[in-house]
Structure 1
Amino acid sequence: MRRTILFFAVLCVFSLKATAQESQSGIRGALNLSNLYVDDVDDENMKPGFAVGFYFRKNIADVVSIQPEINYSLKGSQINYNSFLGNGKYRFNLSYIEIPVLANFHVGESLYFSAGPYVAALIAAKVKDVDGDGTVNSVRELDRDDFNTFDYGVAAGVGFDFSGGTAGVRYNYGLNEVAPNNDGLENGKNSVLQFFVGFAF
């Protein structure tokens, strides 16, 4: 797993160095709306999160570019509860270092469609107990031995370029079980709808 993540990271770095004059690079941030799915994806247990990182883009044809990224991405899910003691939600926060490698297909001067694989490494897993009024009751670290520390999947989206940056929406569809040894999250896979903006430098 570590070798795979390292390989993709090195690929990103060499892509940037080798094409510094031909490619665009920048920082990006995103709102994540994430969930864990088993068979069908739904929004019943969706939770907000975020992603932040760097992107590099190289044109390889008039209408095609390759875009590797390195991101910190907060994913997970939430479970609502209602008891005689009160109501609230448990938020499962899963922190990943994520590396997608996307192919962009450009339509006109600004619109583009993206698709490609991603790999990710889990660096932290926590559960937060939040009251209905937003009060945080507790934050507990989860045992990483209950989780797959390696994740992979596919990503697809649409975006548009503007002067000095890019913005759009992307969907990440996980293909690996997140927590096969966790009683509450077994068989779940990552599902993330992402609204992003990036600024070139």
Structure 2
Amino acid sequence: MKTLTTLCLSLLFAATTFAQTEPGTFSLLPKVGLNLSSLTKSKFEVDTRTGFCGGLELNYQLNKSFSLTLGALYSLQGCKQTDKDHKTTVKIEYLNVPVLFNFHITNGLVAKVGVQPGLVLSDRIHQERKGVSGDMCFRDYVRSLPEYKNTNMRDYDIAIPIGLSYEFSNIVLDARYCPGLVSLFDHWDLTNKNYTFQFTVGYKFEL
């Protein structure tokens, strides 16, 4: 019983161990993870799809309670739609640049909020119908529809990331909700905006 108690206390101590970053110092966080992304409702209702995300974040520790983060993240977003005999998947690749204000709540636990501009790297749509499939540029597909022939897709996005992270032994687990502020297209009838749930794991290096 004594051995079991000692083991439990050791595990508890290990779970709450984290690397204290000194004020005025920088740290670098390579990270990889998973997106669950979709588009807000507009004329067309769509479902969530999964995608890869990964990149680097640079953190500056202002004091023991607050820090600032600047990142560069590749993010595969989009949505999917499935009917009885028709499956559509939209893949939009972004280079996102999160700028975050972090509040260090307690040992290892951090709340964060900020702004995230993003640049579209590519946009594709994949369609499958009755065993036949094909790919094309997403913006070209939208313009091929008669009612949207003069519609343009925006080459940028702006989101407001809100999240929590937990660090132990320099390993950082991070979860964020990133709702978009701007519509994908400039047409009044297509008001879909991005929204993404992002889950990542990274390792922090002190600089």
Q: Sort the TM-score into its range (normalised by shorter chain).
A: 0.7 to 0.9
CA distance in 2, matches of 1:55, 1:103: 13
Give the match for residue 28 of structure 2.
Answer: 25
What count of residue pairs does the alignment treat as equivalent? Answer: 170
Give the match for residue 60 of structure 1.
Answer: 62
What is the letter of the counterpart of residue 72 of structure 2?
I
1:158 aligned onto 2:164: yes
Q: How does 1:165-180 map to 2 (within 5 A)?
A: 165-180=171-186
RMSD: 2.5
C-alpha contact 1:50 1:74 (8 A) present in aligned 2: yes
* Percent of aligned pairs with the same amino acid: 24
Q: 1:182 to 1:27 in 2, by over 3 A?
A: farther
Deviation at residue 181 of structure 1 after TM alignment: 4.7
CA distance in 2, matches of 1:142, 1:164: 40
Question: TM-score, length-normalised on structure 1?
Answer: 0.76
Q: CA offsets, 1:101-153, max 9 Å, x none? A: 01111122211101001100111100122579xx8932222337731002112
Structure 1 residue corresponding to 2:139, chosen from 131, 138, 143: 143
Give the match for residue 7 of structure 2.
Answer: none
What are structure 2's unaligned runs of at least 5 residues? 1-23, 141-150
What is the letter of the counterpart of residue 105 of structure 2?
V
Q: CA offsets, 1:15-37, max 9 Å, x none? A: xxxxxx81110211121000100
Deviation at residue 162 of structure 1 after TM alignment: 1.6
Structure 1 residue corresponding to 2:97, chosen from 99, 111, 133: 99
Q: CA offsets, 1:19-57, max 9 Å, x none? A: xx8111021112100010047xx9x61111121110111
Q: 1:111 to 1:30 in 2, by over 3 A?
A: same
What are structure 1's unaligned runs of at least 5 residues? 1-20
Deviation at residue 88 of structure 1 after TM alignment: 4.7
Give the match for residue 69 of structure 1.
Answer: 71
Q: 1:61 to 1:75 in 2, by over 3 A?
A: same
1:81 aligned onto 2:83: yes
Over alpha carbons, which structure has the higher Rg?
2
1:190 aligned onto 2:194: yes
Deviation at residue 168 of structure 1 after TM alignment: 2.1
What is the letter of the counterpart of residue 155 of structure 1?
P
C-alpha contact 2:31 2:55 (8 A) present in aligned 1: yes
Structure 2 residue corresponding to 1:51, chosen from 50, 53, 58: 53
Deviation at residue 199 of structure 1 after TM alignment: 1.5
